[in-house]
A and B are shown apart, each in its own frame.
Chain A
Amino acid sequence: MSGQAAAPVVAKEAAPVSEPRPGRRIRLLNSAVPARRVWVLRALSVLGPLAAWWALSASGLVNPTFLPSPAAVWAAGTDMAASGTLWTDLTASLGRIGLGFVLAVLISVPLGFTMGALPWAQALLEPVIGLLRYLPASAFIPLLIIWLGIGEASKVALLVLGVVFFNTLMTADVVRQVPRRLLEVSATLGAGRLRVASRVVFPYALPGMIDAMRVNAAAAWNFVVVAELIAATSGLGYRITRAQRFLQTDRIFAILVVIGLIGLTIDVTLRLLRTRVGRWTA
Chain B
Amino acid sequence: MTLRLDGVSKEFAPGTPVLADLDLTIAPGEFVCVVGASGSGKSTLLSLVAGLTPPTTGRVLLDGEEVTGPGPERGLVFQTPSLYPWRSVARNVAFGLESLGVPRARREERVGRLLEEVGLASLAAALPGRLSGGQQQRVAIARALACSPRVLLLDEPFGALDVQTKEDMQLLIRQVWQDVATTVIMVTHDVEEAIFLGQRVLVLSCDPGRIARDLVVGLPRARSLEDKRSTEFLALRAEVEDLVRAEHRAHQARV
Residues A188 and B70 in contact, CB atoms below 8 Å apart: yes
- In the bound complex, what is the Cα–Cα distance between A9 and B50 (angstroms)? 61
Residues A203 and B99 in contact, CB atoms below 8 Å apart: no
Within 8 Å of chain A (Cβ to Cβ): is B82? yes
Residues A190 and B85 in contact, CB atoms below 8 Å apart: no
Within 8 Å of chain A (Cβ to Cβ): is B36? no
Max count, chain B CB within 10 A of own CB: residue among A179, A191, A281? A191
Within 8 Å of chain B (Cβ to Cβ): is A182? yes
Residues B84 and A184 in contact, CB atoms below 8 Å apart: no
Q: How many residues of A contact B (CB 8 A)?
A: 20
User: How does the 8 Å CB contact mask read for A191-213 relative to B, with 1 for contact and 0 for none?
Assistant: 11001000110011000000000
User: How does the 8 Å CB contact mask read for B126-154 relative to A, with 1 for contact and 0 for none?
Assistant: 01010000000000100110110000000
Given contacts A203-B86, A204-B86, contact A280 B127 (CB under 8 A): yes
Q: Secondary structure at chain A's binding surface: helix, strand, loop or mixed?
A: helix
Within 8 Å of chain A (Cβ to Cβ): is B72? yes
Chain B: minimal CB distance from A248 (Å)? 51
Chain A: minimal CB distance from B66 (Å)? 17
Chain B, range 44-60, C-beta contacts under 8 Å to A: 50-52
Q: Chain A residue with minimal CB distance to B149?
A: A188
Given contacts A191-B99, A280-B127, A282-B129, contact A184 B70 (CB under 8 A): yes
- In the bound complex, what is the Cα–Cα distance between A188 and B146 (angstroms)? 12
- Residues on A with C-beta less than 8 A from B129 are 280, 282
- In the bound complex, what is the Cα–Cα distance between A159 and B59 (angstroms)? 55
- In the bound complex, what is the Cα–Cα distance between A203 and B75 (angstroms)? 23
Q: Chain A residue with minimal CB distance to B74?
A: A188
Given contacts A280-B127, A282-B129, contact A190 B96 (CB under 8 A): yes
Residues B84 and A189 in contact, CB atoms below 8 Å apart: no
Within 8 Å of chain B (Cβ to Cβ): is A124? no
- Residues on B with C-beta less than 8 A from A281 are 85
Within 8 Å of chain B (Cβ to Cβ): is A181? yes
Q: Which of B50, B80, B86, B100 contacts A190 (CB 8 A)?
A: B100
- In the bound complex, what is the Cα–Cα distance between A175 and B111 (angstroms)? 29
- In the bound complex, what is the Cα–Cα distance between A50 and B52 (angstroms)? 61
Residues A190 and B78 in contact, CB atoms below 8 Å apart: no
- In the bound complex, what is the Cα–Cα distance between A199 and B51 (angstroms)? 21
Within 8 Å of chain A (Cβ to Cβ): is B76? yes
Chain A: minimal CB distance from B245 (Å)? 30
Within 8 Å of chain B (Cβ to Cβ): is A186? yes
Residues B72 and A190 in contact, CB atoms below 8 Å apart: yes
Residues B52 and A191 in contact, CB atoms below 8 Å apart: no
- In the bound complex, what is the Cα–Cα distance between A195 and B97 (angstroms)? 13
- In the bound complex, what is the Cα–Cα distance between A200 and B80 (angstroms)? 17
Residues A188 and B127 in contact, CB atoms below 8 Å apart: no
Given contacts A187-B70, A188-B72, A190-B71, contact A195 B99 (CB under 8 A): yes
- In the bound complex, what is the Cα–Cα distance between A230 and B52 (angstroms)? 56
- In the bound complex, what is the Cα–Cα distance between A112 and B26 (angstroms)? 45
Chain B: minimal CB distance from A74 (Å)? 46
Q: Which of A188, A195, A200 contacts B84 (CB 8 A)?
A: A200
Residues A189 and B82 in contact, CB atoms below 8 Å apart: no
Query: Which residues on A are within 8 Å of B, measured CB to CB?
Result: 179, 181-182, 184-192, 195, 199-200, 203-204, 280-282
Q: How many residues of B contact A (CB 8 A)?
A: 28
Within 8 Å of chain A (Cβ to Cβ): is B95? yes
Residues B127 and A189 in contact, CB atoms below 8 Å apart: no
- In the bound complex, what is the Cα–Cα distance between A195 and B143 (angstroms)? 17
Given contacts A189-B143, A190-B99, A280-B129, contact A184 B86 (CB under 8 A): no
Chain B: minimal CB distance from A265 (Å)? 27
Q: Chain A residue with minimal CB distance to B80?
A: A181
Q: Chain B residue with minimal CB distance to A207?
A: B86
Q: Chain B residue with minimal CB distance to A187?
A: B70
Residues B127 and A186 in contact, CB atoms below 8 Å apart: no
Chain B, range 133-181, C-beta contacts under 8 Å to A: 140, 143-144, 146-147
Residues B147 and A182 in contact, CB atoms below 8 Å apart: no
Residues A191 and B95 in contact, CB atoms below 8 Å apart: yes
Chain B: minimal CB distance from A264 (Å)? 29
- In the bound complex, what is the Cα–Cα distance between A192 and B98 (angstroms)? 12
Chain B: minimal CB distance from A71 (Å)? 50
Chain B, range 18-69, C-beta contacts under 8 Å to A: 50-52, 69
Chain A: minimal CB distance from B222 (Å)? 30
- Residues on A with C-beta less than 8 A from B69 are 187
Max count, chain A CB within 10 A of own CB: residue among B98, B99, B129? B99
- In the bound complex, what is the Cα–Cα distance between A200 and B127 (angstroms)? 16
Residues A188 and B76 in contact, CB atoms below 8 Å apart: yes
- In the bound complex, what is the Cα–Cα distance between A188 and B50 (angstroms)? 7
- Known pairs A204-B84, A280-B129. 18 more at Cβ < 8 A? A181-B78, A184-B52, A185-B82, A187-B52, A188-B75, A188-B144, A189-B72, A189-B143, A190-B71, A190-B96, A190-B99, A190-B100, A190-B147, A191-B96, A191-B99, A203-B84, A280-B85, A280-B127
- Residues on A with C-beta less than 8 A from B98 are 199
- Residues on A with C-beta less than 8 A from B80 are 181
